[in-house]
Amino acid sequence: MKLAPVTILIIALAGHLHSASFAWTASSEVLADDARIASLADSAKAPPADWLCGVQTETAQSKKTKAPPAAESRQDSAKACERTRRHINEIVKASYPELNGTTIRIKVFDSKSDYFKARFGIPQFFFARMRYLVFVNPLVFELQAPEAGVRAIIAHELAHVVYFKKRNRVRLVGLVRLTSRQSTARFERGADLKAIALGYGEGLKEYRRWLYQNVPTSSLADKQRNYFSPGEIDAILSASRRRPELLEYWLKHVPLNLNEILAAAK
């Protein structure tokens, strides 16, 4: 049987979306497992500014159905969702007018090294109005990440949501290219730059300092490669104060290391 080109595209994309790499996922720390999502609260007719909350209940490492979370765990998840929802509302109002009226669902997930991430909904990609999701790991609050840092990394995640929203579905297929390390670094550092341009640079520095103390040693090199370090952020802030036009330049030519930042700032 000969498949139509559109059918081939859908099958190919579905395979990428459900692969263990989850290369299309954008996150403050890129999602490394094939997550399946189960919603705790859903609404087919959610109002435009509704922020919904749910929980990730299954990972690629464990395909077995998990037992319902304990009451204490549910309370932690609910608090994490509420704090994240509040931050998102405030940051959208202050910094992302293009996201006014956009439905963003908030979900929780478990990880030892990742604390926030963002993506678009899989079923809606094929069949309905696009839906956007921001995930939060409740540990980010239990481990007392600095408040300014949390706001800054959420601003980073919302930069990804803007990216998803502004591109049509065919162009989003191109996110499968993020299987390469360099492409992932450019994508994530580009979201960092957007947050820095909006005034979240100091908070982003705080978040990275905290993050380096709260990820496994095996994950640290990836974090430093894919996202700006505090030193790199300092260099960007210093150079952009002298030459504000550099931020626009860097958004188009994302620097991958301190040397590239310093070279452009000369």
* Token duo for residue 28: 């403050």
Q: Do the beta carbons of residue 121 and residue 175 sit within 8 Å?
A: no
Q: Do the beta carbons of residue 89 and residue 143 sit within 8 Å?
A: no
Question: 199 in the Ramachandran plot: left (φ > 0), alpha (ψ -120 to 50) or beta?
Answer: left
Residue whose pair of structure tokens reads 């929980």 in the numeric block: 55
Looking at residue 118, its pLDDT comes to: 92
Torsion of the alpha carbons at 9, 10, 15 and 17, rounded to the nearest 10: 110
Q: How many helices (H) and strands (E) does the chain have?
A: 12, 6
Looking at residue 25, its pLDDT comes to: 39
| Series of mean pLDDT values for 10-residue runs along the chain (266 residues) | 42 39 36 30 32 42 47 82 96 96 92 91 55 93 97 97 75 53 88 98 98 97 97 97 96 96 93
Instruction: Give the C-alpha separation, 264 to 44, whole Å.
Output: 48
Burial of residue 78 (CB within 10 Å: 0-12, 13-18, 19+) is: middle
DSSP per residue over 119-185, as a string? EE-HHHHHHSS--EEEEE-THHHHTT--HHHHHHHHHHHHHHHHHHHHS-HHHHGGGGGGGSHHHHH
φ and ψ of 52, to 5 deg: -95, 155
Q: Do the beta carbons of residue 134 and residue 104 sit within 8 Å?
A: yes
Rg (CA), the chain: 18
Looking at residue 261, its pLDDT comes to: 97
Looking at residue 119, its pLDDT comes to: 86
Looking at residue 40, its pLDDT comes to: 30
Q: What is the pTM of this model?
A: 0.74
